[in-house]
Amino acid sequence: MKRSQINDILKEADAFIRAHGMILPPFAYWSPEEMRTRTKGDSRMIRDHRLGWDITDYGQGRFDELGLVLFTVRNGRLSELNAGRGMIYAEKLLISDENQVSPMHRHNIKTEDIINRGGATLVLELFKAAEDGSIDPEAQVNLLTDGTERSLPAGGLLKLAPGESVTLEPDCWHAFWGEGGRVLIGEVSTVNDDLTDNVFREPIGRFATVEEDTDPLHLLVSDYDDWLA
């Protein structure tokens, strides 16, 4: 993805989030230089816990078809989760456009609630994992939607209207996209590690490869290792 495209997406994403009555924390708007300065001092947690913007095309160069906008608001550490105390949770906001797919994947550790916070309909395609972790093409998928037990056939489509949510355990393969327009999605989960905890059905990457055709408006979490070193 070109940096100029990422900068445009950042502006559109912030406007969309604000249009739904949500305001991001101050560090969402820091310049790269302020991020570099602050994360060397009192704001090291932002860098170390990988809080902030995340725009990905999964390395495929087709963002409009295969992509996602994310903002990690808060995130704990795996060591705290293993200890059963401390910051054992994470929170994100996501934006999925109409027919813009987040590809089929599951997680090794993370349990997450996916919440339609506003906009159009959120559609999830769901499979249960087999004992070896691969997709079971036949097993029924049992899950909770807002505390209510639901069952779907393998590959069934779950449609969430604004306000509705679903709980996804690590053994639940899922892909999702917007239907009828753009969707603002909330994610509340156990600790999140996007470097190690995502298992994709197809051999794709988690982050975009960035072509630096202009200066960044704000850094992405995938920029941190290079820009904040």
> With a threshold of 0.95, does the pTM exceed it?
yes
The two tokens of residue 140 are: 């029924």
Residue owning tokens 């630096």: 212
Confidence at 11, pLDDT banded by 50, 70, 90? very high
Q: What is the C-alpha to C-alpha distance for residues 70 and 184, in angstroms, rounded to an integer?
A: 10
Side-chain half-sphere of 185: how many Cα atoms within 13 Å? 31
The predicted-structure confidence for 19-70, as pLDDT tens digits, reads as follows: 999 999 999 999 999 999 999 999 999 999 999 999 999 999 999 999 999 9
Q: Which residues, listed in sequence order, are joined to residue 121 by a DSSP beta bridge?
A: 179
The CATH T-level fold of domain 3-227 is Jelly Rolls (2.60.120)
Confidence at 228, pLDDT banded by 50, 70, 90? very high
- Cβ atoms of 69 and 24 closer than 8 Å: no
Report the phi/psi class of residue 150: left, alpha or beta, with left for phi > 0 and alpha for psi in -120 to 50.
beta
Residue 191: the pLDDT is 97
The predicted-structure confidence for 135-183, as pLDDT tens digits, reads as follows: 999 999 999 999 999 999 999 999 999 999 999 999 999 999 999 999 9
Residue 229: the pLDDT is 82
- Cβ atoms of 199 and 105 closer than 8 Å: yes
Confidence at 216, pLDDT banded by 50, 70, 90? very high
Around Cβ 216, how many Cβ atoms within 10 Å? 19
Residue 86: the pLDDT is 96
Percent of all residues in the chain with a pLDDT value above 70, rounded to a whole number: 100
Around Cβ 105, how many Cβ atoms within 10 Å? 17
Residue 91: the pLDDT is 98
Q: Where are the domains of the chain?
A: 3-227
The predicted-structure confidence for 112-148, as pLDDT tens digits, reads as follows: 999 999 999 999 999 999 999 999 999 999 999 999 9
